[in-house]
Structure formats: C-alpha cells, structure tokens
Amino acid sequence: MPIIKSAIKRAKQTIKRRERNVGIKRDIKEATKAFLAKPTAEGLSAAHSEIDTAVKKKLLKKNTAARRKAQLSKAAKAAGVKLATSKKVTTKTAAAKPVAKKAVAKVATKPVAVKKAVVKKVAPVKKAVAKTLAAKKPVAKIVTK
C-alpha cells in the first residue's frame, strides 16, 4: 500500500481508469457477439460505434480497430447485411455554394469589426487611467536640513 499522497492518488486513479476501460471493452465484446449471433445492420452499426469509441479513448490502436471492423464487415457481407448509409450533405450541390461564399465573407469581415469595437471601448479607459495617475501627485515631501 502506498504511503506518499501522490502515490495514493495515482492508485485511486488507476482503479477508476481500469474500471472504465474494462467496461468499454466489455461493451465491444457484447456488441460484437450480439451482431455475430444475429447479423443486422443496426447490430453492425452498434459494433462499429463501440470500436470507434475505444479508439477515441485510446484503448485500441487504429489498425486493430480497422482489422476488427473489417472482420465484422466481412461477416455482414457473408450474411447479406448491408450497413445503412447516413445521408450527408455534399458541398458540390449548387445550393450549398452560395451559402459557403456568404459564410466566408462574414468571417472575413467579422474580426475587423471586433477589433474596432475593442479599440473604441479601450481608448476611453486608457484616457481615464492617465487622468487619475496625473491627478495623483505625491502629497508629502521629505525635507532634509
């Protein structure tokens, strides 16, 4: 058992992290087993999601996750299951281009406006501080004889 405070704290942190990590890995195994028992698009998506979460938390390396996802996808293909694709908005559409240009124009003009506003607010404060410092002159003078 550690005696030093920092070592005690480190031991407590290790226990918490281990419990969290074991839970995430258990979720991966459960999702994978559930998918392999009954292959569905939702099951495949859930398993992929759990694996991605583990990579984000740095429990699995990227290549390990890629290998596991590939194995799941191979099993899904063999079972005739397709992963449901999410609908994404593409930037190549004609409707999206004018919006992007307007957004860029607004972003380009915004910092200048912010700087002007900050300068307008700071200038009176500087003048007031300068006046108060000028008004405060030493009151008592030391006279030596």
pLDDT score recorded for residue 112:
55
Same domain? 102 vs 59: no
Residue 25 and residue 54 in contact, taking contact as beta carbons nearer than 8 Å = yes
Same domain? 18 vs 52: yes
pLDDT score recorded for residue 87:
64
pLDDT score recorded for residue 134:
61
Residue 75, domain CATH: 1.20.58.110
What residues of the chain score a pLDDT lower than 70? 84, 86-145
Same domain? 56 vs 115: no
Q: Which range of residues forms the domain containing residue 61?
A: 5-79
pLDDT score recorded for residue 57:
94
DSSP 68-135: HHHHHHHHHHHHT--PPPPP---TTSTTHHHHHHHHHHHHHHHHHHHHHHHHHHHHHHHHHHHHHHHH
Q: Model's pTM, two decimal places?
A: 0.56
Between CA 55 and CA 62 the distance in angstroms is 6
Q: What is the DSSP letter of 4?
A: S
